[in-house]
Amino acid sequence: MDDRETILDALPEARGGGVPTLSVDVKAVPKSDLWERFVARLKELGGELRSLEDLAEFAGKAMCDVDVPQSVVARLREPATDVWEAKAGVTMAEFAVAETGSIVLSATPGRSRLLSLAPPVHVALVDPGRTIAGLEEAISKMGPETGVIVTGPSRTADVEGVMVMGVHGPRRLCVVPFAP
Amino acid sequence: MKVRLMLSCLCDAVYGEVGVATARVLESADCEIYFPVAQTCCGQPPFNAGDWNAARAVAMRTLEVFDGDSPVVVPSASCAAMVRHGFALLGLTAPRQCYELCEFIVNVLGRKEWGGSVDPRRVALHRACHGRMIGLRDQQRQLLKSIKGLEVVEVGTPEQCCGFGGSFSVTHGKVSEGIGLEKLRQIEAAGVDQVVSGDMGCAMHLQGLAKRHSMDIKFVHVAQVLAEALD
Amino acid sequence: MKNRFDDYVRSLDEDVVRSVRASTERVFSARAKTLPEVFDDVDHARRQAADVKSYVLDNLKPLLLKLEANCAKNGVTVHWAKDAASANRIITGICDRVAPNGGTVVKAKSMATEEIHLNRHLTIAGHTPVETDLGEFVVQIDRDKPSHIVAPIIHKDRKSIARSFEREKLGPYTEEPEELTMQARAHLRSKFQEADVGVSGVNFAIAETGRIVLVENEGNNRLSTTVPRVHIALMGIEKVLPRESDLALFLRLLAGSATGQRLTVYTHFIGGPKKEEADGPEEVHLVLLDNGRSRVLKGPFRYALRCIRCGACLNGCPVYRRSTGHAYGHVYPGPIGAVLAPALDGVPKMGELAKASTLCGLCREVCPVDIPIPDMLLKLRSEDERNRTSEWTWFGLAARSNLLWKAGLKLLPMVEPPRGWKEFREFPRKRVDFRRWWRGRP
């Protein structure tokens, strides 16, 4: 008997019954001013709200994801080509989540997961019109593919509980409002 | 109202004054007390220690002694939790009504205040953890706060246990001591005149530790303060 | 009545206890602040999560089969491991195929891999496991063990970490947490790049879609599951959730209970190996680990399998705070460990742990899936024959006879209190006899 059969044999028969219906009241899910609330949470987490003009800071040092519009790439002049060397990774976010100050990224064809992860700065272009109230909606609207909800810059508190940003992922998360 | 007094084995063996105070408190609240003399222990000590054969035998005895309809009142959340929660784990049916003293006064007798007065002093209330198991919330504090002369202060981390834990205090003496000393240091720092406890188990452990470390901290049971306010 | 647990605590440095206490208290108050800000009724949320987990435990077989089928659709290879040996064989087998001459295996923090002692087995097989979570990395270079399920080096201070980093030549000696963290980052970067395989645990796996969900704050988990060519996820079979729509509740409860965050920094959804993306693993494997769980499921300790490993019961526990995780001598420490360890490894071996609790009940009050930990500790104690002693037999006899009870009360002042009491405390003297007072009343 292989392990699969052994385990399935050892498991009791299903008791059935319906999956419980969830009725949790989440205070933290806002009903209005979604973008403003998103920005407030993002800043609480140590994230930054920047403009397209601010991208000049990363000129020549940033690497852009495949679907970052040409108008943005142009601002970054001769972008970097090695994700491990780039000083910033520029990505297109699917949407923002007001409840948690998160942005949602999906691994659609051509895109790089590492751009939001390896460089010390992650610049995410987000359409403020695509701000979602709470997590339930965010998860249901994510595609079936691999994706990530990013909630603030990478951090650790392993050394004596002291908060340090940028342990493995980016130490800075810059959100740039961008309506295509 | 007719009530039956469950003394608790600890007050039977050591802290008789708490039983006296409890009786006075209940009588002053127009309760007619019946004390079943055949009572011994609810069974919690062997239950917590893991000897459920002994615990079941003792618990069944308690059920016999307290067979009846009138409320059972005990000056200990720990015993009340044993009867209401522990008996079920032993597969026994709990008597219909068994209450911790302050819970009984507030929830059953409907008293929102106790009133009266005592010599002015600052006290800390130590909440016994077993109150959690019977949903004991603020009843003890509520009654104490209504007594003139009494200032009830919040000390340290009130949600944290004192480290007694019944047989735990013996099997894990060092850990128990450490937890207890933390509590005592918080109490010392708060500069209170007295610590009021709802359970003599916690008080016995903390008082015994304080004495060993020559800390001058006095413990009384909440019933003793309520009784004092009657004079 | 001495025991190993208490002896370990006797040997502990007061500094360690103080820092564990400070860290746990900080996280515990963050939890207490955040959860009521997130939920209207925290207890209702906890009960709902408990209901979903109970449904999972009641229907594990069909849920696992559904998960398996949907993972296959996503291109994820599913393996079943009945015990630790099987799981180690499967994982080292994959590593052997990918790196026949031995390779670097980067590891994200995972309690399941600790449970099966994967690192030891990878090493024996000629591979080089590298822990990449900062805390786990320190544990590994120190040949230590994690002392907390969320914060593995809660027992270490910056000085000790600084000394370890200097010894490992990670950079110039520094006690600054920021600089220490950057030294680890720089060192581990190359490990991610050279690794052939990344191993992670699983926080949740969704039966209806086959997606694997991982949460973390550092980014090492995403790196471990993105950079190497092969990703292996090891999951206890109880971690499956029925629907994607269950996730939001669990993610909020997990982050809030563990660290007081509204959500962890990275919530990673893995929908299969790389397809047309620029990066990502070419192979994704999911290993379903039983290792005693199906047995626990059928017994009185089944509710312990609701656990989502948030660590809140450790952080609040007065015993854990004074003892640190090492006192428990098991991968799973704290109140939940005191249940899981004997439930998984047997009462004869780990039953003593059930006694390392004051039964204060705080663990249940804060548990995000409402596990009745104190009740299970009591039940475990009752199953341990060593707890049935002649003293309790005598107590039981005395408590059933008025004659013996009264004689016992009379004798009590002459009896020596037990050693574990006497060593630390005075014993009170009886001043008032209630029964006499009661009899003497008019």
Q: To 5 degrees, how large is the angle CA B136–CA B139–CA B144?
A: 140
Contact A15 C58 (CB under 8 A): yes
Q: What is the pLDDT of residue C439?
A: 95
Considering only CB atoms, which chain C residues are within 8 Å of A142?
269
Q: Which residues contact C174 (CB under 8 A, 6 or more apart)?
A: C162, C165, C180, C183
| Whether residue C314 has pLDDT greater than 90 | yes
**8-state DSSP, A82:** -
Residues C314 and A115: their CA atoms lie apart, in Å, by 36
The enclosing H or E element of C194 equals helix C177-194
Residues A105 and A94: their CA atoms lie apart, in Å, by 6
Q: Quick check: C204 and C213 in contact, CB under 8 A?
A: yes
Q: Which of B222, B208, B230, B206 is nearest to B104 (CA)?
A: B222
What letter represents residue C108's amino acid? A
Kindly state the greatest CA–CA separation across chain A.
65
Residues C325 and A37: their CA atoms lie apart, in Å, by 39
**8-state DSSP, A116:** G
Least confident of B129-138, B222-231, C311-320, C362-371: B129-138
Show the DSSP H helices in C228-383 as ranges. 247-259, 293-297, 312-316, 318-323, 334-345, 347-350, 362-366, 373-383
Considering only CB atoms, which chain A residues are within 8 Å of C369?
none
CA–CA distance from B115 to each of A135, B91, B112, C123, C384 (Å)?
50, 41, 10, 71, 49
Considering only CB atoms, which chain C residues are within 8 Å of A135?
247-248, 251-252, 263
| Whether residue C1 has pLDDT greater than 70 | no
Cα radius of gyration (chain B):
17
Q: To 5 degrees, how large is the angle CA C244–CA C246–CA C251?
A: 100
Distance between start and end Cα atoms, chain A: 57
Share of chain C above pLDDT 70, in %: 100
The model's pLDDT over C370-402, given as tens digits with 9 standing for 90+, comes to: 999 999 999 999 999 999 999 999 999 999 999
Distance between start and end Cα atoms, chain B: 22
Residues B207 and B201: their CA atoms lie apart, in Å, by 10
Closest chain B C-alpha to C410 CA, distance in angstroms: 9
Q: Quick check: C89 and C80 in contact, CB under 8 A?
A: no
CA–CA distance from C307 to each of A153, C300, C316, C349, C433 (Å)?
28, 15, 16, 22, 48
Which of C133, C244, C277 lies at the smallest CB-CB distance from A112? C277
Residues B47 and C387: their CA atoms lie apart, in Å, by 10
Give one DSSP letter per residue of B133-153, joined into a string.
Answer: GGT--SHHHHHHHTSEEEEEE
Give one DSSP letter per residue of C6-67, joined into a string.
Answer: HHHHHHS-HHHHHHHHHHHHHHHHHHHHHHHHHBS-HHHHHHHHHHHHHHHHHTHHHHHHHH
Contact B160 C318 (CB under 8 A): yes
Contact C362 B161 (CB under 8 A): yes
What letter represents residue C431's amino acid? R
Token representation of residue B21: 């105070």
Mean pLDDT value across chain B? 95
Q: Residue C321 in 3-state DSSP?
A: helix
Q: What is the pLDDT of residue B96?
A: 73
Closest chain C residue to B23 measured between Cα atoms?
C438
Residues B65 and B59: their CA atoms lie apart, in Å, by 10
Residues A27 and A8: their CA atoms lie apart, in Å, by 41
Share of chain C above pLDDT 90, in %: 97
Q: What is the pLDDT of residue B31?
A: 97
Considering only CB atoms, which chain B residues are within 8 Å of C390?
none
* pTM recorded for the entire structure: 0.96
Closest chain B C-alpha to C236 CA, distance in angstroms: 29
**Residues paired with A140 in a beta bridge:** none
**Residues paired with B158 in a beta bridge:** none
Q: Compute the average pLDDT of residues C302-323.
A: 97
Band (pLDDT 50/70/90 cuts) for residue C192 is very high
Residue A114, classified by CB atoms within 10 Å of its CB into exposed (0-12), middle (13-18) or buried (19+), is buried
Considering only CB atoms, which chain B residues are within 8 Å of C1?
170-171
Q: What is the pLDDT of residue B166?
A: 94
- Contact call for B and A: 3+ CB–CB distances under 8 Å: no
Give one DSSP letter per residue of A2-42, joined into a string.
Answer: -HHHHHHHHSPPP---PPPPP---BTTS-SS-HHHHHHHHH
Q: Which residues contact B183 (CB under 8 A, 6 or more apart)?
A: B126, B156, B160, B162, B163, B206
Band (pLDDT 50/70/90 cuts) for residue C2 is low
Residues C167 and B131: their CA atoms lie apart, in Å, by 51
Report residues of chain A scoring pLDDT below 50: none
Q: Which of C53, B137, A45 is nearest to C45 (CA)?
A: C53
Q: Quick check: C241 and C204 in contact, CB under 8 A?
A: yes
Contact B209 C395 (CB under 8 A): no
Considering only CB atoms, which chain A residues are within 8 Å of C245?
22, 136, 139-140
Residue A16: CB atoms within 10 A of its CB come to 9
Residues C363 and B88: their CA atoms lie apart, in Å, by 20
The model's pLDDT over C221-249, given as tens digits with 9 standing for 90+, comes to: 999 999 999 999 999 999 999 999 999 99
The enclosing H or E element of A164 equals strand A164-165
Q: Quick check: C299 and C343 in contact, CB under 8 A?
A: yes
- The size of the B-C interface in CB pairs under 8 A is 203
The model's pLDDT over B70-97, given as tens digits with 9 standing for 90+, comes to: 999 999 999 999 999 999 999 998 877 9
Closest chain A C-alpha to C257 CA, distance in angstroms: 15
Closest chain B residue to C25 measured between Cα atoms?
B157
Q: What is the ipTM of this complex?
A: 0.97
Band (pLDDT 50/70/90 cuts) for residue C127 is very high
Q: Is B217 left (phi over 0), alpha (psi -120 to 50) or beta?
A: beta
Q: Which residues contact C375 (CB under 8 A, 6 or more apart)?
A: B89
Mean pLDDT value across chain C? 96
Residues C175 and C115: their CA atoms lie apart, in Å, by 32
Residues C128 and C125: their CA atoms lie apart, in Å, by 9
Residues A45 and A101: their CA atoms lie apart, in Å, by 8
Q: Quick check: A129 and C143 in contact, CB under 8 A?
A: no
Q: Residue C442 in 3-state DSSP?
A: coil
CA–CA distance from C294 to each of A11, C308, C371 (Å)?
5, 17, 18
Contact A4 C60 (CB under 8 A): no
Residue owning tokens 């599951």: C225
The enclosing H or E element of C123 equals helix C118-124
Residues C23 and B231: their CA atoms lie apart, in Å, by 47
Residue C262, classified by CB atoms within 10 Å of its CB into exposed (0-12), middle (13-18) or buried (19+), is buried
Residues A96 and A150: their CA atoms lie apart, in Å, by 10
Contact B168 C421 (CB under 8 A): no
Closest chain C C-alpha to B179 CA, distance in angstroms: 7
